Amino acid sequence: MRHFSFLPDSVLAEIFHRVPETMGPSSDPELLAVALGATLYSPGTRTTLADDVLKAGSRGCFSQVLCLEDSIPDKELDMAEENVLDALRTLNATHGHQPDSELPMLFVRVRNPAQMVSLARRGGDALNVLTGFTLPKFENDTGLGQRYFDSLAEIHRFREADDATKSAARFKLMPILESPSIIHVETRTQTLTRVVEVIKKHREDVLAVRIGATDFSSVFGLRRPRELTIYDVQVVASVISDIVNVLGRPEDGLIITGPVWEHFTHDVSTGSGHHSGNLASLSREIRLDHANGLLGKTVIHPTHVPLVNALSVVSHEEFMDASDIVNADHDGAMASSYSNKMNEIKPHRAWAERTLLRAAAFGVAAPGTTFIDLLEASPR
């Protein structure tokens, strides 16, 4: 897998200073977490699920979630489970043994630990194309978080005992923080403390942490309009700030992804290519995600994928700053290579290291290349 793999070498050479790296299941998990980019959610009831995954991957989607939780009515759950398993069987049969497969990193959003185990047992080697699971309403006040990790350990035990699955990569989990006890100020600190404790205990099993802003908003009966960002909804912005404060410390190496953008339009051909006025607020929110320490974003429409990924590419100026800081032979300060800011070696080092990791995942834009250029080069 490689971001922007749909572009011919001649175009890559023109718009990139450094092209994105090729990645796979054995790549550094921290690099894979940074590389998630736009994570596209698809309801497990879609009848064309396998084709949808392949189509999304060919157009630049690097990570996708097949959802069995809130997007599925209870009465359709059994059908959705079988539909997801059938899609995974198809994908494993057609693409599971291709070393150069362009399949996105695939996750299943489950409802509870028991469902996760049941799907793994029923799916067998079909789940070899799966990267892992996303875990809704994640908390550990009730021990739920630990039960998810216990279930994952059970899954790994029986898969390692099966010749058809024992050589497959171990699954990764992506907890979703969205429970009321996290947004309620009187319980937030205790809940987040217990979350970070259980994640640290099982750090090798966690790829990234996701934020469920829709559930947070629903606690107060709120829904942001398309012209505003989630950071304009102050009660949700405050909990994002605290999540980053507790879980986003550089020494822990956890990647926290941006909350879902739930608006879309079928008319994305106006304005500058993909970047119609309807995507202006999404663009602003992605920039605010980055400024607040969040990488990647949950999206619910394929038209959002190119914008999220284009804005994830490291600019040439950022790359020069980060490289200068990491490679400095002193611990003081110096003017940037672009002569427009001061780079301080110690305070800016964690930012620089994270930026170079993002550069490996998404590449470095050539001088003068903007995200609009990257967006225009993406499939429509």
Q: Give the length of the chain.
A: 380
**68-81: b (≥16 Cβ within 10 Å) or e:** bbbbbeeeebeebb
Query: What pLDDT does residue 126 have?
Result: 96
Backbone φ, ψ for residue 16 (5° rounding): -115, 135
Per CATH, the architecture of 23-313 is what?
Alpha-Beta Barrel (3.20)
Q: Are strands 297-299 and 38-43 parallel, antiparallel or unpaired?
A: parallel
Residue 269, CA distances (Å) to 89, 266, 278 in order: 36, 9, 10
Give one DSSP letter per residue of 300-368, joined into a string. Answer: SSGGGHHHHHHTTSBPHHHHHHHHHHHH-SSSSEEE-TTSSSEEETTTTHHHHHHHHHHHHHH-EEPTT
Give me 19's structure tokens: 């092209």
Query: What pLDDT does residue 10 have?
Result: 94
Angle at 15 between CA 339 and CA 307, to 5 degrees: 95
190-214 pLDDT, tens digit per residue, is 999 999 999 999 999 999 999 999 9
Low-confidence ranges of the chain (pLDDT < 50): 268-277
Angle at 254 between CA 248 and CA 258, to 5 degrees: 70
Domain ranges of the chain: 1-21+314-380, 23-313
Residue 340, CA distances (Å) to 16, 89, 220, 355 in order: 22, 54, 43, 18
Distance CA 326, CA 352 (A): 7
Q: Evaluate whether 53 touches 106 at the Cβ level (below 8 Å).
A: yes
Which residues neighbour 289 within 8 Å (Cβ) at sequence distance 6 or greater? Answer: 258, 295, 297
* pTM score: 0.94
Query: What pLDDT does residue 264 have?
Result: 79
Query: What pLDDT does residue 272 have?
Result: 42
